[in-house]
């Protein structure tokens, strides 16, 4: 007779509860996260992270037309129409880090940051489509600059810095109304704080109070992103996927608080504890417009062997309400190309079953300073490393790693050139849930 696989059901439920638990615990951790060291994160909402996991970051960030990787379904958050391709339940969590070198004139500085990057899950619903949910960074801020100045005969240090992050928790659904065509949408809750800090301190005197001004911007709101994909088998295990992804004219709430504190003089930042608050002002909240986004892309693939593709994107930041005195933002446009190659998926040699990924991306960002457009470009590489599985197991896992070797900005016109290596690592677990077994 036929019975439900109770063991499989318990395993699936356990995995789901663990994922939900990690998602809940990560929410409080994300609220103060900042992994940016870019001076350009001062503008707008900071450095935008994008809806990309290590698998697609390694291919230049192509995602709009990505539906399968190596013949297997993948969790592609950038286009929710891809959720209809789920055949397994997918759990994906990972870490993010960057190594940054900043140069201006003859001065240079290096920094490194690492943090938990994402936790996501996708669940197939058969003919009803597929759903996905998770938590990941939306943007973050991490700039800092200081200089020694003189007032009469008194030397003081002026410091400008920023910290904090904006995150998003999302849930998405995709459905296929007819063969080959899919549509989907993600609903996201955006939350987090970005803080601009101005400090005046007197490192060479113990006779003056230091002053710190914090402009804290708290963001909350809901956004909607959507996408479509058309998947067409071409014969000889070839397939073509064409996709489009975009967003509505989303708005979120921004509530700012200004806090000015004084601290007693000291020679150590550790001892620089505020003595009192000299001023605090909670400003009324306002609505800000998120950028209008459009992206088109395609992939051409041979099942279990290789895939190549390209993306073209456009973002309009011109309606974003910047801070007072900040240069207005403009339009962001760019493109990416990339692909994946697996030498021999049926081989018993490990290096032959590894996925090798390569890509390139270029963006003319929404930022312009001193009459110069800020451009960002990177070469990307990565691998998908399969983990051992038990014979006849319905579960298979991979460790996905990616690295982006890039540059933003220029040394021209007294600007900062930022050279960086962005590192991502993710653990992906694929499993079949709710399978019936036959018993004699």
Which helix H or strand E contains 25, and what residues bound it?
A: helix 6-30
pLDDT per residue as tens digits for the range 15-56 = 444 444 544 444 444 444 555 678 888 888 989 988 999 999
**pLDDT band at residue 278 using 50, 70 and 90 as cut-offs:** confident
367-371 contacts: CB < 8 A, separation 24 or more? 367/40, 367/43, 367/44, 367/327, 367/329, 367/330, 368/327, 368/330, 369/327, 369/413, 369/415, 370/413, 370/414, 370/415, 371/413
Distance CA(64)–CA(266), nearest Å, equals 54
**pLDDT band at residue 207 using 50, 70 and 90 as cut-offs:** low
Count of CB atoms within 10 A of residue 69's CB?
Answer: 24
Q: What angle do CA 75, 386, 242 make, to 5 degrees?
A: 35
Alpha-carbon distances, residue 332 vs 48, 134, 136, 368 (angstroms): 12, 26, 22, 11
Distance CA(428)–CA(420), nearest Å, equals 26
End-to-end CA distance of the chain: 6
Which of 193, 287, 246 is CA-nearest to residue 51?
246
pLDDT at 272: 59
**pLDDT band at residue 433 using 50, 70 and 90 as cut-offs:** low
**Locus of tokens 């070198």:** 101
Residue 212: CA atoms inside 13 Å, Cβ hemisphere, count?
Answer: 19
Distance CA(74)–CA(53), nearest Å, equals 10
Residue 66 has pLDDT above 90, yes or no: yes
pLDDT per residue as tens digits for the range 225-267 = 999 999 999 988 899 999 999 998 899 999 999 988 888 766 5
Residue 316 has pLDDT above 80, yes or no: yes
SS3 202: coil
Distance CA(397)–CA(386), nearest Å, equals 6
Running DSSP on this structure, what letter comes out for residue 207? S
pLDDT at 304: 85
**Locus of tokens 């109304």:** 177
**Locus of tokens 């899919």:** 182
Residue 115 has pLDDT above 90, yes or no: no
Handedness of CA 243, 247, 248, 249 (dihedral sign): negative
């Amino acid at each position: 007779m036929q019975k439900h696989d109770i063991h499989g059901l318990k395993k699936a439920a356990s995995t789901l509860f663990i994922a939900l638990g990690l998602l809940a615990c990560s929410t409080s951790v994300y609220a103060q996260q900042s992994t940016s060291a870019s001076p350009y994160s001062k503008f707008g909402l900071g450095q935008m992270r994008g809806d990309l996991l290590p698998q697609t970051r390694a291919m230049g960030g192509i995602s709009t037309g990505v539906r399968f990787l190596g013949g297997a379904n993948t969790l592609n958050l950038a286009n929710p129409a891809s959720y209809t391709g789920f055949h397994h339940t997918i759990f994906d969590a990972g870490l993010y880090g960057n190594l940054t070198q900043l140069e201006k004139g003859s001065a240079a500085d290096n920094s490194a940051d690492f943090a938990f990057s994402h936790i996501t899950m996708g669940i197939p619903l058969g003919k009803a489509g597929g759903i996905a949910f998770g938590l990941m960074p939306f943007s973050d801020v991490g700039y800092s600059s200081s200089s020694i100045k003189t007032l009469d005969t008194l030397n003081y240090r002026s410091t400008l810095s920023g910290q904090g992050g904006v995150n998003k928790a999302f849930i998405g659904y995709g459905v296929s109304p007819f063969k080959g065509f899919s549509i989907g949408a993600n609903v996201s809750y955006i939350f987090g704080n970005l803080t601009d800090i101005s400090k005046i301190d007197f490192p060479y005197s113990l006779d003056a109070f230091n002053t710190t001004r914090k402009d804290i911007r708290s963001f909350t709101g809901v956004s909607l992103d959507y996408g479509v994909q058309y998947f067409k088998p071409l014969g000889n295990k070839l397939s073509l996927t064409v996709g489009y992804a975009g967003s509505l004219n989303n708005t979120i709430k921004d509530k700012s608080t200004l806090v000015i504190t004084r601290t007693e003089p000291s020679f150590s930042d550790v001892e620089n504890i505020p003595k009192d608050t000299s001023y605090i002002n909670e400003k009324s909240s306002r609505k800000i417009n998120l950028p209008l986004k459009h992206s088109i892309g395609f992939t051409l693939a041979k099942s279990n062997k290789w895939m190549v593709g390209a993306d073209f994107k456009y973002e309009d930041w011109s309606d974003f309400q910047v801070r007072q005195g900040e240069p207005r933002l403009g339009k962001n446009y760019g493109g990416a190309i990339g692909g994946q190659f697996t030498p021999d998926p049926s081989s018993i040699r490990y290096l032959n079953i590894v996925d090798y990924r390569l890509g390139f991306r270029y963006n003319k960002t929404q930022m312009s300073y001193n009459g110069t457009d800020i451009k960002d470009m990177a070469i990307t590489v990565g691998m998908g490393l399969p983990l051992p599985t038990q014979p006849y197991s319905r579960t298979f896992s991979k460790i996905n790693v990616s690295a982006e070797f890039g540059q933003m900005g220029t040394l021209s016109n007294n600007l900062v050139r930022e050279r960086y290596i962005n590192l991502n690592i993710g653990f992906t677990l694929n499993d079949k849930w709710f399978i019936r077994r036959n018993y004699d």
